[in-house]
A and B are shown apart, each in its own frame.
Chain A
Amino acid sequence: MDIAEIKRLEAEGPGRPASKKRQQQVLKAFVYIFLMVGSFVMIVPFVWMIVTSFKPLEEINTYPPSFFIRKPTIAAYIELFSIIPMGRYFLNSLIVTCSITLANIFFCSLAGYAFAKHRFFGRDKLFLLLVGSMMIPWQVNLIPSFVIVKKFGWLNSFYGLIIPAMSGAFGIFLMRQFIMNIPDDLIDAAKIDGCSEFTIYRRVILPLIQPALASLAIFTFMGQWNNFVWPLVIVYSSKMRTIPIALSVLNGQFGTNFAMVMAGAVVATLPVLIVFIAFQKYFIKGIALTGLKA
């Protein structure tokens, strides 16, 4: 009970609080109902996805469509991993996503440190260029990037999938903002002790920006795992597909075997879900950060 409440109660007298309290209770109930209905709406498509993935072929297109499976089977999953090499696509996605995430953490924090704590010629202009570039829509550099990757011979390869994404303006921006908050004294102290720049980066900066690193890592991981357009454009042999591409291929190839398409969707969604639930805190903080900083 804070001062405002006490003052209000005193002003209102004994009769009013009861109705106000009831009003608040009704409001709360309304809120709960709203949120529960909303949650239900959010979850139902996922439940349908999981249910369909366990249905045998004859039950997929039944009328009426039902959430109950008469003869549940994992046939779709078995086919998914044996015929479609879903395992291979999973591995591809994992390699690509992890490499890009690691590279981003390293390169962006390095560059962020430079922009935050070093004074060098062209620093502010370059940073402005970086921030401005975030406004350029990806469609503008899609085609030339394709041609450049082709000229390097990187089409349809891990090089082409990973290298163009190894660093980004957004990551550098995020890192710089965070590093700017580190007191200069710490850095000066390290310099006096005779540490090289790289050692300062490794021993002083990195430990202090761990939350930001975690957020960047998760952002990058999510974004790259689900990335669709770039692999769509540069991958053309089935060996090099990533999971989103594999899903779209399933969508095309198995028009009637929806169990397999849904099973593919389950496999595509599960890792991201696990990472999210494990690192929820960092993720939500990270998004909030971008909103506030902008």
Chain B
Amino acid sequence: MHGRDIPIAIAKALVFSLMIFTVFCLAGCGKVPEEKKILMWLVGSEKQAQKITELGLDFYKQTGVKVSCEAISWGEAHSKYLTSVVGEVTPDIGTMGLTWGTEFGNLGAMVDLNREFPDDLSELTSSIFPGLAGSIRYNDSIFAVPFDMSEYIMFYRCDIIKEPPRTWKALTSLLSELNSSGRSMIIDWGGMGWIGYSPFLWQNGGDYYDKDMTSATLDSDKALEAMKFFTSLYKSYEVPVENRPVEQSFKIGEYPIFISGNWKMKSLSDIAPELKGKWAIATLPAGPTGKKTGFIGGRVMGIFSLSKHKKEAWEFIKYLSRPDIQIKLYEDTLESHDTYLPPNIKTWNLLPMEDSFKRPLLDQAMDSKGPPSVLGWDDSTRFIDTAIQLVVLKNKDAGAALKDADNELERRIRR
């Protein structure tokens, strides 16, 4: 009696498992596509990803290649990309931080565009902002090209502050004045971190590495002066250490001036529409060297080595770099809560933006630098952050903190 029923028990178990597996498959666990299809990951909002998928429809009409775009968030992007590389299931195109292309390219995970598509590439990169160009090139390799750019800019209430500060001195005297009525400035993008510190470092004539990128130069006098000035903003001029809702504080005038990225232009008009006409943007205050160098960031896009449609992916990248498409991307952000500024100087001339905004943005962008193109940079930023935090929060000596950070950077340079 037993012998006959065991097979039935097995059969039942198999049927049950089959049922479960069918459920998975029906829920869509990957059908092999017959037509050409490329997948793009966008570090940004879902809305913008949808917009790109829409543009993909237009691209499909022209080329017969389907495009789908998914959104991922900045905080998880880096580990997501690494996981996908490790899991050997990468998208075709990935957008990422400026220096990540070099990092992943060095792992063999991304295509060296300079070797695969040299002619197209030089045309594409001929008109991008110089700050961007510096960050994407690594020796002779370029693993990703700019998708957009974000820049550091200063926002201020022009009804409260008549003249925006043009120098470091002017900034501190403005802050002293604001402090006396319990107000101050917010450093919103990169506050208490290396992104916030970089402009001051560069404006003082210092840098993270020397010209050949072979040794770290954070222990220079210039870096020290810049660090002292930057941290003094927090320690002596009441710039808040923690995050604040910038738009709100700006609206009620508690923080009538702040430094952040260009995307705040959009969120200000969304969250504080009644402030229209009462605020303006300006280039950053210049350091003792007279330079007002800002930080330029943004997203670059590259092709993953595991992609089965590299040529088609490159065509889409070129498509996204066309001035008319870039304008479309920009115009779309006027309705959504997104950010997009074209990385091409050529496109800027056609950009439908008010002159009072265009001029400072263009001006600042021409004098901006991106993160250094050194392998091991992404691993090193943490130590610069720690140095800044120790100086501001634990009163560590700035020189000692910089020396520690410099050592860590030095240890991680890989060529």
Contact = CB atoms under 8 A, between A and B. Distances in A.
Interface of A: 57-58, 61-63, 83-85, 91-92, 95, 99, 102-103, 106, 150, 155-159, 162, 194, 196-199, 233, 236-239, 249, 252-253, 256-257
* Nearest 3 CB-CB pairings of A with B: A196-B5, A198-B9, A158-B24
A92 B24 CA distance: 10
Contact of A61 (B2, B29, B245, B337): B245
Interface string B56-90: 00000000000000111111100010011011110
Interface of B: 1-2, 4-6, 8-9, 12, 16, 20, 23-24, 27-30, 45-47, 50, 70-76, 80, 83-84, 86-89, 91, 245, 247-248, 252, 267, 270-271, 337
A155 B83 CA distance: 9
A99 B270 CA distance: 43
A103 B13 CA distance: 11
Contacts of B2: 196-197
B73 A252 contact: yes
A249 B247 contact: no
Nearest to B3: A196
Given A194-B1, A253-B46, 12 more contacts: A58-B271, A61-B271, A95-B23, A103-B20, A150-B88, A157-B29, A198-B8, A199-B5, A236-B80, A249-B72, A252-B73, A252-B75
Contacts, number: 90
B254 to A, nearest CB: 9
21 contacts: A57-B271, A61-B247, A62-B248, A63-B248, A84-B46, A92-B27, A99-B23, A99-B24, A150-B88, A155-B87, A158-B24, A196-B6, A198-B9, A236-B83, A238-B70, A239-B28, A249-B76, A252-B73, A252-B75, A256-B267, A256-B271
A237 B73 CA distance: 11
Identify whether the interface residues of A are mostly helix, strand, loop, or mixed: helix
Contacts of A155: 83, 87, 89
Contacts of B245: 61, 256
B1 A158 contact: no
Nearest to A147: B86
Contacts of B87: 150, 155-156, 236
A119 to B, nearest CB: 15
A35 B88 CA distance: 54
Given A106-B16, A155-B89, A237 B70 contact: yes
A71 to B, nearest CB: 14
A95 B20 CA distance: 10
